[in-house]
Structure 1
Amino acid sequence: MSAIRTADEDTVERLRDLPPSAKLVAKVLEYEGTLTQSELAEETLLPARTVRYALNRLDEEGVVDSRFSFTDARKRIYALALAE
């Protein structure tokens, strides 16, 4: 089974009108799996503020899932919300 989770057609459609930063964050999550906001900023080379905005937009569209980190409850871990 591949570690890469590919976006389904519905997810791609919801991403269509989002800003490029949100699309980049979604693509990184697609390839990397679950990441924290700071890890996303590091992977995308985007400022933390831009990543936060992108995650908010993705959350509004129902494209990402988030949960608290087990290792540090102050952090959230993000992953693509994909149809199974």
Structure 2
Amino acid sequence: MPEQLPKAVADETPAVRLVYKTLEADGSHTQTELADATALTPRTVRDAAATLENVDLISSYNHPSDQRCTVYFLREMCDSSR
């Protein structure tokens, strides 16, 4: 696991950095799973994920079996599989 954060994340809030590092360490998660793993509120996770999506570090999709859930993952995971 890389020690340093990307520049786009380094100056963000602790919540954004925590969500990024959790996804980096554990792979994809739903919003609820991220909230449980980080002890952040679902709203904070959603806001942090939106920030990370805006700087193109993560992507998301609707969960295949529950369209109400969003699954977040690092873009580099997707890009490296090509």
TM-score (norm 1): 0.82
Higher RCO (CA 8 Å, separation ≥ 6 residues): 1
Residue 62 of structure 1 aligns to a residue whose secondary structure is coil
Tell me how far apart the structure 2 counterparts of residues 54 and 67 of structure 1 sit (CA, whole Å): 16
Unpaired runs of at least 5, structure 2: none
How many residue pairs get matched? 77
Tell me how far apart the structure 2 counterparts of residues 60 and 17 of structure 1 sit (CA, whole Å): 14
Residue 6 of structure 2 aligns to a residue whose secondary structure is helix
One-letter amino acid of the counterpart of residue 33, structure 2: E
TM-score (norm 2): 0.84
Aligned-pair Cα RMSD in Å: 1.7
Percent of aligned pairs with the same residue? Answer: 34
Tell me how far apart the structure 2 counterparts of residues 34 and 28 of structure 1 sit (CA, whole Å): 9
Unpaired runs of at least 5, structure 1: 1-5
